[in-house]
Amino acid sequence: MDSPAISIRNLTRRFGSFTAVDNITLDVAPGQFFGFLGPNGAGKSTTIKMLTGLLAPTSGHIEILGLDFATDPLDVKRQIGVVPEGLALFGRLTASEYLRFVGRMYGLDRDTTNSRTDELLDFMNLANEPKKLVTDFSHGMQKKLALAAAVIHGPRILFLDEPFEGVDAIAAGTLKAMLQRMTERGATIFLTSHVLEIVERLCSHVAIIHQGRLVANGSLDELRAGVAASELVRAGGSLTGPQPEEKLTLEELFLRIVGGAGAGTPDEALQELSWLA
């Protein structure tokens, strides 16, 4: 493998006595479309915040494109684009003003910023309301704008925290096409999402974090093989569930790995909410 685009070694983050991310070690190869999954509260957003400089790790080491985040944070930030959880938008600018602002903050010259702004607004279908302030955009429009801002400087790595949440099907299609083209041209995409169908369709590699620990990492086929092998061991050699050749979906894999059905079936849980209409 080439030297990894993202290299994480023993990454840990604690909040008081609570360990949100526990000793994660992970490599993401250049050009990979990498899905980073986990149930709510597993530590996905904390990890992505540490990888993008929004949160300092308690311990561990992060290298992005061979640059040490601890010693070269600004050089790293020049190479990456981020759509964070809170979108990081300036609500009282128009979309065009915001993109021009972002471009210049990344050191682009005025002409490049202006032409890229126009192209991105057209591509994202945001050019129709030039006077509208970002704060008055719908959530989906804000997501598209945040993505446009994340790519305006042509990053080599893109970190996306739930990019498809609240985006309509047409816009999601546009975004997916753009992201796929970026990976084809060598960019690396690190994505977290709860929409597992999209992750399954887009990502070549997936890692799953659960209770702060990395519990799975590899291509989808590698994950399937891993789940099948562990179930084989647990069943004492005779599998009753789906066989490896049956190809589990990512959702099924995810539920088996993080034990989503461990707390009882949804029907059982709903019996306790009998008052609900």
Partner 1 sequence: MAGVAPPSPQKSIHGGLFSPLARGQYAALVRVQTRMFVNSLRTKRGSFELGAHILVFLIFSLIACGPAFGLGFGAWVAVTHGRILGISVLLWVLFLAWQFFAALAPALGGQNPELSHLLRYPVSFGSWIVLYLVYGLAAPSTLIGIIWATAIGIGISIARPDLFLWTACTLALFIFFNLLLARMILAWIERWLAQRRTREIVTAIFLFLALAAQVFNPAYRQNPYSRPLSHVQSKTANRVASRFMEAQKVFPPGLVINSINLRAQHRPLQASEDFLWLGVYTFGAGALLALRLRSESRGENLSDAPRRSTTALRKVRRRPALDFSGPLFSGPIAAVFEKDLRYLMRSGPMLYNLAAPLVMVFLFGGMARGGQFSGVRSRYALPIGMVWAFFGLARLICNNLGMEGDGIQFYFLSPTPMRTVVLSKNALHFVLFLLEIALISAVVVFRFGLPSPSMATDTLAWLIFAVPANFAVGNLLSITMPYRINMTRIRRETGALGNGLTSLITQLGLVAVGALVLVPCALMGHSLLAAPVFLALAAISLFVYWRVLGNVNRMVQSRQESLTLEIMKTT
Token pair listed for 83: 């759509």
11 in Cβ contact with 24 (< 8 Å):
yes
Cα torsion angle, 8, 189, 143, 72, sign: positive
Answer yes or no whether residue 277 interacts with partner 1 by CB under 8 A.
Answer: yes
Residue 64 contacts residue 206 (beta carbons within 8 Å): no
How many other C-beta atoms lie within 10 A of the C-beta of residue 234? 9
- Check binding of 230 to partner 1 (CB under 8 A): no
Residue 183's φ and ψ, nearest 5 degrees, are -70, -35
Distance CA 198, CA 177 (A): 12
Return the number of the residue (41 or 259) whose C-beta is nearest partner 1: 41
Q: Which is nearer to partner 1, 55 or 255 (CB)?
A: 55
Within residues 133-192, the interface with partner 1 by CB under 8 A covers 133, 135-136, 149
Residue 273 touching partner 1 (CB under 8 A): no
For the CB of residue 99, give the shortest distance to partner 1 in the complex, in Å: 11
What count of other Cβ atoms lies within 10 Å of the Cβ of residue 101? 14
The answer to the question of residue 123 lying near partner 1 (CB under 8 A) is no
74 binds partner 1 (CB under 8 A): yes
Candidates 29-37, 130-138, 202-210, 253-261: pick the segment binding partner 1 (CB under 8 A): 130-138
Residue 110 or 185 with smaller CB distance to partner 1: 110
Nearest approach, Cβ of residue 19 and partner 1 (Å):
16
Q: In what order do the strands lie in the sheet with 67-68?
A: 18-28, 6-15, 59-64, 67-68
Stretch that binds partner 1, among 23-31, 109-117, 208-216, 254-262 (CB under 8 A): 109-117
Please report whether residue 99 would count as binding partner 1 according to CB under 8 A: no
174 burial level (CB within 10 Å; 0-12, 13-18, 19+): middle
Residue given tokens 């990498």 in the structure block = 34
In angstroms, what is the minimal distance from the CB of 116 to partner 1?
13
Any contact of residue 106 with partner 1 (CB under 8 A)? Answer: yes
Q: Are 224 and 244 in contact (CB under 8 A)?
A: yes
Give the shortest CB-2-to-partner 1 separation in angstroms: 24
- What does the binding site for partner 1 look like in residue numbers (CB under 8 A)? 52-56, 74-75, 77-78, 82, 84, 86-93, 96-97, 100-102, 104-110, 114, 118, 122, 127-133, 135-136, 149, 275-277
